[in-house]
Structures are given as structure tokens and as C-alpha cells.
Amino acid sequence: MRVIAKAFGLHQLTAEDIMTQEAREKVELFRNYYFVNYRTFEQDANDEDYLEPVNMYVVVFREAVISFHFSMIPHPANVRRRIRQLTDYLFLTSDWISYAIIDDITDAYAPLVQQIEEEVDDIDDAILALHSTPDKDENENNSKNRKNSNNEKGGSASSDNGDEHERAGDMLRRVGECRKRVMKLYRLLGTKADVIKGFAKRCNEQWDVAPRSEIGLYLGDIQDHIVTMTGNLSHYENLLSRAHSNYLAQINIRMNERAEQTNDILGKLTVIGTIVLPMNIVTGMWGMNVLVPWQADFYESLVPFWGITAGLIVFGVGCFLMAKWLYRIV
């Protein structure tokens, strides 16, 4: 870097920013060049550093452009291809090359914003339909499936619960990963509008190395794209926040429903236990190894047995009907 700085007359501050990989995006004017620091990102989806910031430094002279970056990025190759395509219609200058690099970096964010928009729409629709009531046909199909798998009822119930928990975990993971991508892009795009605005103002300064005024028109277009993308990201973050809240609300509703079902089942079991307890007392008294009523008079008859049994049945049915109709707890 010292050799390059000495050969091209780079200022010490410029060389220091490049070597230390200064992260703050900026545009600086020097005596014989201007220096642009504009961040891109790691674009390989298979890389563990995907969407991580990558600093790109561009030194623009009147007749040359030098770019520095510490990761493999496609922007220089894209700009060279664009120059070859427009060589018959373009008056090539170093200012235009610096604009083309900035424009290509900015355009790289557009597909990601579009993907996030589609993902947000899918998440929003999935959350709204996650706990909706199934259609009639689906109920019929489920009923048929339950009949066909009647012998595996217990296993099917546990499988359904597992599938529901898996869907819940997948949805939370999707929302979290999407919000993470939104925040990464928002962090990358957050300062770019101010940098481009400052860069466009430099086009009107009376410096020999300042960009020409026509480049300011192109920079204004880039600034519009950045403002649009940041506005969209802010909107998507609000949608994800709302979707996350809706999902948690649905989870709370489902938990309350299951708690009510559990309480209802426990209430019914309590009623049954209350009815059966006196029966156990009666049968326990008649099962003692002592002389009990009817034992001597009806020693070889089943009349006492059927009498006690009938009394217990009448008592149980009466208590059940009373709990159901009078107290409405069954």
C-alpha cells in the first residue's frame, strides 16, 4: 500500500483508511483526486459471511480510477462489461466509472429487497391462515383418515401435536431470519443516502478534482433508489413486527383454549370421582369380614347383591343428571 500511495500520490489519510478498512461511508476531496468509501456486501449465499459488509474504496483521478476491496465482489467486472456494452454511445470519464461502481453496488440490493417483500407477504399470509378453521372438505378428509387409522389413534395424536409444534418453530424461525435480513440491509443502506447527497453537492464545488455537474444527475437517481429501498425496508419491518405480534397472540389464544379444555376435563373427572367415592364406601362396608345386613337371611340368594348394585346405579345416575342439568358442570 505504501508503494501504491507513493506511486499515485495518495494522501496519508486515504492510505490509512484503506489499510485499516474504515467502515464509515464518505466522500473526500484531495488535491489531485477524490476518495469514495462505499460499502457493498458478501453476495455468496453459501458463504457463512453472507450479507456481511464489504468495504470498497475508490480513488478517482482525472484520468484514472483505482479501486480497493478485501473480498471477492462482482462489481468491477460488471462495470467493465457495462463499459464494453456502452462504448459506442458513451463518452467515458473517470467520474462516470466511479458513478457506475456506486450504481452497480446499489443495484445489488434491489433483488434482496424484492425477496424480502415476497417473504414478508408469505409470512403474513401463513400466520393469518395458521390457526384458521379448516374447510369442510379438509374435515371430511381428516375424518376418513382417522377412521382408516383407528388402531393407531394414540400415535396419530402425538404426531399431530409434533407437526403443530414443528410448524410453530418453523414460523418463528422464518420471522426471526427475515427480520435479521431486514436489519442487515437497513444497516447497509442507512447511511448511503446521505453519502450520495453529499457526493452530489461536491459536483458543484470549484475544485479541479470535483465530479462534473452531469454526474450529479446520475447520483440523484441513485439517491432516489436508496431512499425507496430504505422506505420499503422500514415498511417490511413494521409488517414483520405486526406479524410477529399476531402470531404470538394466536399462540396465547391456543394456549388459553387448551387450558380451558384441560380445566373442563379435570372438572368432569372431579364430578366422576365425587360420585364414585360414596359407592366405594358402600361396597367397602358390605365387603367387611363381619356379619353384615342380609347375610344371615339371604345367605344363598342374590337379592342383596342386585339390590345394592341397583341402589348404586340409581345413586350414580341421579348424581350425574343433577350435575349436568342442575349445576351444568358436566
Q: What number is the average pLDDT over the span 32-37?
A: 91
Q: What number is the average pLDDT over the span 128-157?
A: 51
pLDDT single digits (tens) 262-289: 998 888 888 888 888 888 888 888 787 7
pLDDT single digits (tens) 213-241: 577 778 888 989 999 999 999 999 998 98
Q: Work out the pLDDT band at 207, boundaries 50, 70, 90.
A: low
Q: Indicate whether 326 pLDDT > 50.
A: yes
Question: Which distant-in-sequence residues (6+ apart) come within 8 Å of 40 by Cβ?
Answer: 53, 54, 56, 69, 73, 75, 105, 108
Question: Which distant-in-sequence residues (6+ apart) come within 8 Å of 43 by Cβ?
Answer: 50, 73, 74, 108
Query: Does residue 130 or residue 125 have the better pLDDT?
Result: 125
Q: What number is the average pLDDT over the span 21-45?
A: 90
Q: Indicate whether 108 pLDDT > 90.
A: yes
Per-chain mean pLDDT for the chain: 82
Amino acid at 292: V
Lowest-pLDDT range of 74-78, 125-129, 257-261 = 125-129
Unique residue bearing C-alpha cell 458478501: 42
Q: What per-residue confidence (pLDDT) applies to 269?
A: 86
Q: What is the distance between the alpha carbons of residues 306 and 247, in angstroms, rounded to a whole number?
A: 58
Q: Indicate whether 141 pLDDT > 80.
A: no
Q: What is the distance between the alpha carbons of residues 210 and 286, in angstroms, rounded to a whole number?
A: 110
Q: Work out the pLDDT band at 137, boundaries 50, 70, 90.
A: very low
Query: Does residue 123 or residue 132 have the better pLDDT?
Result: 123
CA angle 63/65/67 to nearest 5° reads 170
pLDDT single digits (tens) 152-184: 444 444 455 555 555 666 888 888 889 999 998
Short-list 244, 246, 237, 264, CA closest to 131: 246
Q: What per-residue confidence (pLDDT) applies to 140?
A: 46
Give the rounded percent of residues in the chain with a pLDDT score beyond 90: 29
Q: What per-residue confidence (pLDDT) applies to 150?
A: 47
Q: What is the distance between the alpha carbons of residues 225 and 232, in angstroms, rounded to a whole number?
A: 11
Q: Work out the pLDDT band at 69, boundaries 50, 70, 90.
A: very high
User: Looking at the domain 1-107, which fold is it?
Assistant: Beta Polymerase; domain 2 (3.30.460)
Q: What number is the average pLDDT over the span 57-69?
A: 92
Q: Indicate whether 101 pLDDT > 90.
A: yes
Question: Which distant-in-sequence residues (6+ apart) come within 8 Å of 87 by Cβ?
Answer: none
Amino acid at 240: L
pLDDT single digits (tens) 298-312: 777 888 888 888 888
pLDDT single digits (tens) 70-94: 988 999 999 999 999 988 887 888 8
Q: What number is the average pLDDT over the span 35-53?
A: 89
Q: Is the entire prediction scored with pTM above 0.95?
A: no
Question: Which distant-in-sequence residues (6+ apart) come within 8 Å of 222 by Cβ?
Answer: 99, 102, 103, 106, 196
Structural domain boundaries of the chain?
1-107, 109-259, 260-326
Q: Indicate whether 147 pLDDT > 50.
A: no
As to burial, measured by CB atoms within 10 angstroms (0-12 exposed, 13-18 middle, 19+ buried), residue 274 is: exposed
